[in-house]
Structures are given as structure tokens and as C-alpha cells.
Chain A
Amino acid sequence: MSQVAQSKGRAGFIAGFLFAPLALYLTFVIWPYVQTFGYSFTDWSGQSPVFDFVGLDNYSALLKDEVFRAALWHNLLLLVFVPVTTILLALFFAFMLNAGGRGGAGGVQGVRGSGLYKIVYFFPQVLSLAILAVLFGAVYRSDQGGLLNGLLVRTGLVDPQRPVEWLNEPDLVLWCLLLVVVWHGVGFYLVLFSAAMQSIPKDIYEAALLDGAGRGQTFFKVTLPLLWDSVQTSAVYLGIAAMDMFVLVSTMTSGSFGGGPDHHSEVMATVLMRNFLYFGRSGYACAMGVVMLVLTLILSIITLRATRRERIEF
């Protein structure tokens, strides 16, 4: 490093290389974030350049906003169920792929064709959420033209005259959306866990096997503790995804920017966008942005803390 330090033009080089990236980043990312905090204390409409400072009015209005409270509740439900469902399914399938095969000796035999399964499972990850929205919009159609209703009518489980209105049923809509996220995410986390499982040295399993551990025991006492880091990271990522949900909710459910029927699928992001682009209440929308940020940060910290365990090196 000393050579580098002494050579000439060093300061100019550093400044030159940092200038463009920093300038872009400051202009389009950091400054808007800072402004959001500022605007959240104003009654800015977004249209006119004039606005007044209103203190914490936006935040106290948020507390009383029934729609926002419902949205917050839905985000919290998703925040619990999206990571739990996705991680459990991904772990289950990863275990099946890597240790569900024949042959007791190694105890870590993968099933045949595990590569093919991974290719199929991972594919949804490369599809955009817009494609998912159209696809599942069609799957959940409320007549026999929808894949689910079509299958259910054909098997006689559902009366053809009264098909299930998946996305218009207040009690169903949120869970239908949850399934889309799970469908999308399982493959990715499965590949992630599977890679982590394969990096665990084989002799650990052999040792466990010699000590007489069964498959279940091996999984819970050996594999899972060694995977814990990956599980933790996944929980944070999935949690952040559950706090968003904008694309799916706004495109698949009824109402402007989604959220229907009657706000039963509302999430914070859709309420924010509606207030910003539809009602012209930019200051209020900014306050929602700040609340979302604070919640995301708190939840990330909680997840990382609550799931913290001693790190096992191997």
C-alpha cells in the first residue's frame, strides 16, 4: 500500500472516481430521503410550491386513519406469515433434495434429479412481479375461466353457479396474495439453503451417524444450527418484501392502487401511493414513508437480535 500512497495524483484520482457515483447517489437517493423527513411535517399538496409547517399533525392524523391502521395490520400479518411459510417450505424442500435420497450410509444422499428440481423451483424468481400479477390475476379469476375455480368445479368441490371469488372475498384476499409471494420466493430460498447445506462438511454428518442419530435428529441438531445464519438473513429479506407488497396489491386487487374489497387487502405502500398520486396529499404520504422506514428498521433489528445465536465456524 505504501507505494500506492506515495504515487502522485492520488488525491485527484480518489476524488475523480468518487465524484460521479456520489453525486448521483446524493441527488436521487439521499436528498429525496432527507426531503421526505422534512415534508412529513408539512401540509404540502405536491402540486403547488407553497406549503405550511404543521408539526406532527400528519403523524397524529396517521394514528387516527382507519385505512392506514388496517394497512399496517395487514403488513404485520404478512410480516409474520411470509417469512415463516417461505422459510419452512424452502427448508423442507432443501432437506428433501439434499438428504431425502436413498442410501442410509452417508445420511446426506441427495435425491436423483435434484438439479432439475432446482431449475424448476428457481424459475419464478426471474419473473417480474408484473408478470406474476397478470398470471395470478388469471389463476384467481372469479369464474370458471380462472385456473383454481376451473379445477375446483371440475373436481366437484365447488358449485359451478357459485365459484369462489378469491380476490373479492374480504377474508380470502390477503391469503391469496400471500400464496403468490410464497410461490415466488420458495425456489430462491431453497437454492440458498441448499447451497449452505452442501457447504457443511460431510464428516460432521458421518460423526452424527456413527453416534446413532436418525435423519430427523441430524436435521434438527446438525443441519439447522449450521444453517442458522442463512435462515436469519432470509427472514430479514422476506420481512422487507412483506413490508412492500405494492406491486401485487395495487395490480391484483380492486380499487385505485388496489386495496379492495373495502380495504381488506390494503398495505401501507398502497395507501401511501394513493395519497400521493390520487389525493394529492404529499406531506401526509411522506409521513407514511417515514413510518414505514422506522418499522422496517425496528423489525430488522428485532429479527437479527431475537434470532441471534452463537456462530458456528466450520
Chain B
Amino acid sequence: MTTVIKAPGEGAAERSGGAGAGPGGREERRAEGTVLNVFSHGFLAVWAILIVLPLIWLALGSFKTDAQIGGSALSWPAHWNLDAFGRAWDKGIGDYFANTLIVMAFSVPLTMLFGSMAAYVLARYPFRGNRFVYYFFVGGAMFPVFLALVPLFFMVKRFDMLNTYHGLVLVYVAYSMPFTVFFMHAFFRTLPTAVHEAAVIDGASHTRIFFQVMLPMAKPGLVSVGIFNTLGQWNQYILPSVLMQPQTGSDPERYLLTQGLIQLQQQQGYASDLPVLFAGVTIAMIPMLVVYLSFQRQIQAGLTTATLK
């Protein structure tokens, strides 16, 4: 009995010998297990197909002609060429991509820097009003963005930052604060004080301790919050669609990728060049797929622990 119980996890399928030693009920359970195994693989496979099938179908669509796409969903591409991808790029997908990267190159590091600075001070330096400032930051996570949208638009307008990269960067940073402060605060609290004290005795300034001692120690936390913020800001749609509209005729279009795809979708309603739209989406999906497959363990762990904290 005990050997059977200690064995789970290793070569489960071939352990028929162990069951023979057990009481008869164990045999039944094993049979039930096999049935359940087939059963669960069946369900799991169905859901996996439901996830993968539409994505592949869409990617295939970028190789079809418009007539094929309209004719039947189950048609197979006749010519494998990359025309639609070229056209999608010309329609601005390339620019939208670049715009998104420019914004995120600044917004994510700045979010992490400001978020960690505030979280660090609040976690490590007791002062009057510390708790208040902390809850003030964290409380923002409760409110939907919609609540602020109307005045936010006019606020950004007053600063003359509508349809500018820096305007959007600052707004992204501000809206990422509650979550970043919350998570990094929890993380800084777990770091040992001894290292900090040693640095103080060595005569390091507060600022230096933060950048050279504490921040490197907080790296695991920075990575998972960084992933969370990167995905969140990459997928943001409402903020750019309100804040990144050309203000005058001469104001260049600075759409982000999400915005650009929706724009493309709405244009396709009239122009009926669906392969371009599908190619655009495929282009937008590929970097996510590559990043996801390379870091899937960190992404899954980062996102889920961040949610549960």
C-alpha cells in the first residue's frame, strides 16, 4: 500500500504491478482512471482546437483572394504569396507598429521606475501619512478608466499633448501606477533589511541604496510586473483611441497598432480588401506569438501571481 501511495507522478501508466497488491477497489478505480483519461483528453483536445482553429484560419485568410474569402470560409489559398502583407504594411501597419514601440519604449521603463520609487519609499520608510498615500495609490485600481475619460481628454488637451507620444506615455504611466505600486510594495517588504543597513553603515546615500542595492534585489518582482504592464499597455485600446486622434488637418496620424487594426477593419467594410485586414492581424499576432512562446513560463507565472496578490 505505502509503495503505491508514494509512487504518484512517475510512470503512472505502466504501474500495473502495484495495483495487484492492493484491494479489489483499487482495480476498479484504475479502470475508472483510464476512462477518465480518455474522456479528459477528449475534452481538452476539443478546447485546444477551438482556440487554435480560428487563429490559423485567420492567418490562412491573408493568403486568399477577397473573392475566396467571401465565397466560402473553407476555401484553401490558391496562391501562396505575400501580396496582402505588403499591402497591409503600406496601409500603415508598419507605422502603427513603430508608434506602439516608441510609446512602449518609454512608458514601460518609466512605469517601472516611478512605480518602484513610490513603492519603495512607502514600503521602507515609515512617515506620517504613509498609509494614506499607499491606499491613495492602490485605490485607483478600483475605478474603471471610463470614469475619468471625459475630463482626462480635456486635461491632456489643456497640456497640448493630444496626439503626441509623450502625452500618451505619461497617461499610460499614471494609469499603471496603482497596480505597479501595489505589487512592488509587497515585493520590497519581503526583501531583507540587513543588506540595506549594511549599505547605510557604509555611508551610501538613500538614492544610491535604492538604485544599486534594492532595485537589483527586486529583479524577479520587476520582471513579472514588467510583463504585466507590457501586455496591458500593448493591448490598450480605449486610451489611444480617445487621446491619439489627429487634432488638425496638418497633424500627422499617430495611431497605435490596436487602433490601426480597428481603423483598417472599418475601412474594409467599404473597400472590401479582407486579405489586407487578415494580413494586418497576422502581422500584429506574430510578435506576440514569438514573445509568448519564448517567455511563456514567465508570462503565465507573472500574470497569474500578479492577479492573486
Contacts and interface: CB of A to CB of B under 8 A. Distances in A.
Interface of A: 1, 3-5, 7, 9-11, 13-14, 16-18, 20-22, 24-25, 27-33, 35-36, 39, 46, 89, 92-93, 96-97, 100-109, 111, 117-131, 133-139, 141, 143-151, 153-154, 183, 186-188, 191-192, 195-196, 202, 206, 209, 214-215, 229-230, 233-234, 237, 240, 243-244, 246-247, 251, 269, 272-273, 276-277, 282, 285-286, 289-290, 292-293, 296-297, 300
B139 to A, nearest CB: 9
B308 A233 contact: yes
B72 A292 contact: no
B300 A183 contact: no
B237 A247 contact: yes
B170 A123 contact: no
A103 B48 CA distance: 24
B223 to A, nearest CB: 16
Given A10-B206, A105-B8, A109-B33, A46 B150 contact: yes
B58 interface: yes
B81 interface: no
B44 interface: yes
B154 to A, nearest CB: 7
Main secondary structure of the interface of B (DSSP, over half): helix
A206 B261 contact: no
A14 B144 contact: no
Interface in B55-70: 55, 57-58, 61, 69-70
Interface residues of B, number: 118
A63 B281 CA distance: 40
Main secondary structure of the interface of A (DSSP, over half): helix
B91 to A, nearest CB: 14
A89 B292 CA distance: 23
B143 interface: yes
Contacts, number: 324
Contacts of A243: 144
Contacts of B82: none
Contacts of A102: 12-13, 30, 33-34, 37
B146 interface: yes
